[in-house]
Amino acid sequence: MAATEDHTTTEATRSAYYVTTPIYYVNDRPHLGHAYTTVAGDVLTRWHRQRGENVWYLTGTDEHGQKIMRTAEANGVTPQEWCDKLVEEAWKPLWQHLNIANDDFIRTTQQRHTDRVQEFVQDLHDKGEIYKGGYSGPYCVGCEEYKLPGELLPGATEDEKLCPIHKRPVEWLEEENYFFRLSAYGPKLLDFYAANPDFIAPASARNEVLRFVEQGLQDLSISRSTFNWGVPLPWDEKHVLYVWVDALQNYITAAGYGADPERFAELWPASVHLVGKDILRFHAVIWPAMLMAAGLPLPKRVVANGWLMVGGEKMSKSNLTGISPTDLTSHFGVDAYRYYFLRAIPFGTDGSFSWEDFTARYTSELANDFGNLASRVAAMVGKYFEGALPAATAAGPAEQAVVDGLARAAAEADRKIGEELDFAGGIAAIFEFVKLVNGYLTEQEPWKVAKDTSEEGQARLATILYTAAEALRATAVLLNPVMPTASGKLWESLGAQDSLGALADQTIATVADWGRLPAGTTVTKGDILFPRLEEKPAS
Ligand code: MSP
């Protein structure tokens, strides 16, 4: 049974900035680790949308394979029922909750995927890239997996070997499988990496892949005949396709491969595949080799993020450290959640989550530096000018420093977030600017200037408040990709919607053009952007 299609189309024909996340296994519910990549992709795509580009953001779910089949069996339902339930009850609602603006959601059980996957592998088979071979090796029934001899534990007798996980004897199994001639692609891949030094990032990930491929590649077993929850091989239906070979193709099947040539030309090759570092080889070795074999262009970049760690280990459901994102958003809110992980952990390295660090950043950066600035400025425009933004008629060097600071922050954030995927660096640049504006207000002391009722005094006061409000206008635009809700509230409180239009339509190219917010705009004191946190809930 195929799941309902979810596929939206676009009118645009310009070549797209196409970003993907890994498609997540639906054997369990999402945890912080999954949300980390998806939020990063969302910030990247929202940034590029504000660059005025034609952006397409894809996420989805990986639904075949033994892991899912067994979970379904253990829960007394069919694999498809299990997947439908998890996708609808856990995965899609989480992305909605976290404000993820994906354009499409692909499920590998959808017919738009499975039909194309069959055509793709048939094509490789026809081209002689796939051959039938045998595989024999120690097999653990508990794991349903071939083991490597080196990982086995000694058993009771000299001949007996134990599975390291189940501690039970493994069996010797021989099976007929189909193989993809991956070994033939080593030299071609190395040439490709050399010609495209930015293909894999960060540098540590690139080096790891180079070392791996330089050692020589083995052909890849791409079929399984011991279970049937997968895409059948069109030429031999006793076999289903190895789940990874099926899953990787989501990036092209969702883009219209084999179904909509115009759309495919617009989207493919992908601009960025975001992946966790544990699945780098699949994306930077196997996937490019499959595409080369099919004669298709290769993605432009594969960017690997590090792991979120708990107690020094990768956070995961299987070791019971998988924290649900909603455990944090219920306390800190969605915007702060989106902000925290990207700000606190340099993208590409591992990082630990700590409640204390999150609380500290929330309070000092979001509530004090940013939230207070927004509410103070709105309150002063209300108090001294009855909410009508005054014009800046007496600008001097202090104001010029704010104008220059904005130009610097915008350029740096655009380079770091938009190009380098250095989210922490880009957000830091924007917050440097927020700090600069706070410093400007502290120095200019508008609350004191307000007492000077001379024309000059009032002109200074007007100039200071205009400068601060205009700086907030730009801050809302720059932070919108990271924190769309708080930025939207700020936009509303500045009355910017009426004069400048929707926040999401503001471009990065014009963000530093000083003076966009017109004088006379109605500024209102909106909601507090980052309210004081409640006590930490008892764990
Ligand atoms: N289904 C495959 C991906 C197929 S893509 C064609 C898969 N799924 S997964 O659900 O197990 O993992 C998806 C992603 O989540 C991986 O990129 C993985 O690195 C990431 N994470 C899982 N735990 C993580 C952390 N603790 N920290 C950061 N990311 C981690 O693999």
Residue 218: count other Cβ atoms within 10 Å of its Cβ: 10
Q: What pLDDT score was predicted for residue 8?
A: 42
Indicate if the pLDDT at residue 384 is higher than 90: yes
Residues 6+ apart with CB under 8 A from 91: 24, 26, 29, 30, 61
Cα radius of gyration rounded to whole Å, the chain: 27
Residue in 400, 389, 377, 398 with CA at minimum distance from that of residue 447: 377
Mean pLDDT of 366-394: 98
Residue 362: count other Cβ atoms within 10 Å of its Cβ: 22
Q: What is the distance in A from the centroid of ligand 1 to the CA of 291? A: 22
Q: What is the distance in A from the centroid of ligand 1 to the CA of 90? A: 16
Percentage of the chain surpassing pLDDT 90?
84
Q: What is the distance in A from the centroid of ligand 1 to the CA of 33? A: 7
Q: What pLDDT score was predicted for residue 175?
A: 80
Point out the ligand 1 atom lying closest to the alpha carbon of residue 21.
5
SS3 assignment, position 3: coil
Q: What pLDDT score was predicted for residue 1?
A: 31
* pLDDT confidence band for 2 (50 / 70 / 90): very low
Confirm if 404 and 449 have CB atoms less than 8 A apart: no
Q: What pLDDT score was predicted for residue 304?
A: 98
Residues 6+ apart with CB under 8 A from 244: 282, 286
Residue 455: count other Cβ atoms within 10 Å of its Cβ: 10
Q: What pLDDT score was predicted for residue 315?
A: 78
Residue 158: count other Cβ atoms within 10 Å of its Cβ: 7
Residue identifier of the C-alpha nearest atom 19 of ligand 1: 276
How far is Cα 434 from Cα 483, in angstroms, rounded to an integer?
15
Mean pLDDT of 334-350: 97
Residues 6+ apart with CB under 8 A from 439: none
Tell me whether residue 34 is one of the annotated catalytic residues: yes
Point out the ligand 1 atom lying closest to the alpha carbon of residue 310.
26
For residue 301, give the DSSP letter.
-
Residue identifier of the C-alpha nearest atom 29 of ligand 1: 33
Q: What pLDDT score was predicted for residue 134?
A: 86
Structure confidence by residue, pLDDT tens digits, 475-491: 999 999 999 999 999 99
| Ligand 1 shell residues, CB under 6 Å | 22-25, 33-34, 36-37, 62, 247-248, 250, 275-276, 278-279, 307-308, 314-316
Confirm if 244 and 286 have CB atoms less than 8 A apart: yes
Lowest-confidence region among 175-189, 208-222, 317-331, 374-388:
317-331
Backbone angles phi, psi at 506, to 5 degrees: -75, 135
Residues 6+ apart with CB under 8 A from 156: none
Residue in 501, 494, 502 with CA at minimum distance from that of residue 521: 494
Indicate if the pLDDT at residue 463 is higher than 50: yes
Q: What is the distance in A from the centroid of ligand 1 to the CA of 282? A: 12
* pLDDT confidence band for 142 (50 / 70 / 90): low
Q: What pLDDT score was predicted for residue 167?
A: 81
Residue in 201, 171, 191, 187 with CA at minimum distance from that of residue 44: 201
Mean pLDDT of 97-115: 98
* pLDDT confidence band for 7 (50 / 70 / 90): very low
Residue in 61, 45, 58 with CA at minimum distance from that of residue 257: 58
Residue in 320, 335, 323, 326 with CA at minimum distance from that of residue 427: 335
Residue in 66, 61, 67, 3 with CA at minimum distance from that of residue 30: 61
Indicate if the pLDDT at residue 320 is higher than 80: no
Indicate if the pLDDT at residue 359 is higher than 90: yes
Tell me whether residue 140 is one of the annotated catalytic residues: yes
pLDDT, the chain, mean: 93
Mean pLDDT of 380-402: 97
Structure confidence by residue, pLDDT tens digits, 262-317: 999 999 999 999 999 999 999 999 999 999 999 999 999 999 999 998 877 787 76
Q: What pLDDT score was predicted for residue 171?
A: 85
Half-sphere exposure of 44 (CA within 13 A, CB side): 27
Mean pLDDT of 200-218: 96
The DSSP code sequence of 495-520 is: THHHHH--GGG--TTTTT-TT-SPTT
Residues 6+ apart with CB under 8 A from 462: 385, 390, 391, 392, 393, 394
Q: What pLDDT score was predicted for residue 144?
A: 52
Confirm if 393 and 462 have CB atoms less than 8 A apart: yes
Structure confidence by residue, pLDDT tens digits, 12-42: 457 999 999 999 999 999 999 999 999 999 9
How far is Cα 291 from Cα 123, in angstroms, rounded to an integer?
11
The answer to whether the Cα torsion of 325, 331, 334, 338 is positive or negative is negative
Residue identifier of the C-alpha nearest atom 6 of ligand 1: 248
In sequence order, the β-bridge partners of residue 55 are: 17
Structure confidence by residue, pLDDT tens digits, 150-171: 889 999 998 899 987 668 889 8
Q: Cβ-count burial of 371 within 10 angstroms (0-12 exposed, 13-18 middle, 19+ buried)?
A: buried
Point out the ligand 1 atom lying closest to the alpha carbon of residue 308.
27
